[in-house]
Amino acid sequence: MTITKTEDKLEGSYYSPRIDQTLDLRDVKLDAENTLQFNVDIEDVKVAYRGKIEGNKIVGSAQIFRQGRQFEATFTASRKVETDSVSGTWEMETVMRGNTSQSILLLAVANDGKISAIRKSNENAVEFDDVELVDGVLTFSTKGNRRGYDYTAHYKGDVEGDKIEGEFVISVEAAGLTRKFAWSAKKAD
């Protein structure tokens, strides 16, 4: 499914593997609560979709009308984010206990599709491990030691165009501490 906005109008299409055909979406609407509605006609079947957009996913129901009968089904759709689209320099911002810090996040995609991530702040550079982009969600982590305590930081963020927003969790196992903080990034190049 592809949905685009041209001027003040939403338009889209849906590929049906069952009939190997791309169909136009009709009556595409998005309300203030992020609920998306659209209709699809597939031969003698009419389907009315309604779903709530949450991050990179839509979860909802479909009313199916066929031969005078009505059926209901649930559906889930995920936004596909191309791995190459995250490659580049990002202006990163983290908020911890009311303090905001800024850094540069460098994301690169290798020929094999693997993503590398490095955060640069002042004179420090941190290379992240386990960098993945799945269903529009970017995740990565790092381990370190601060003031004699080993810690792990896990980052998770929704990629939406030139923005990433999410949270990171810092765990200090020896002290029994786990804290969640907000982070965001905006593409600089």
The per-residue pLDDT for range 91-104, each reduced to its tens digit, is 999 988 888 999 99
Q: How far apart are CA 77 and CA 131, in angstroms?
A: 23
- Ranking 63-72, 81-90, 107-116, 118-127 by mean pLDDT, the lowest is 81-90
Q: What is the DSSP letter of 73?
A: E
- Phi, psi angles (nearest 5°) of residue 58: -125, 130
Among 29-33, 42-46, 54-58, 153-157, the range with the most confident prediction by mean pLDDT is 153-157
pLDDT (mean) for 31-49: 89
pLDDT at residue 76 greater than cutoff 80: yes
Looking at the predicted structure, is the pLDDT value of residue 81 above 70? no
Query: Quick one: pLDDT at residue 16?
Result: 79
Please choose, from the candidates 167, 83, 74, the residue with its C-alpha nearest in 3D space to the C-alpha of residue 132.
83
Query: Per-residue pLDDT averaged across 73-94, rounded?
Result: 83
For residue 6, what pLDDT band results from cuts at 50, 70 and 90?
confident
Q: Rounded to two decimals, what is the model's pTM?
A: 0.63
Compute CA distances 170 → 58, 97, 143, whole Å.
29, 13, 9
Q: What per-residue confidence (pLDDT) applies to 122?
A: 84
Q: Is the per-residue pLDDT at 18 higher than 80?
A: no
Looking at the DSSP bridge assignments, the partners of residue 112 are: none
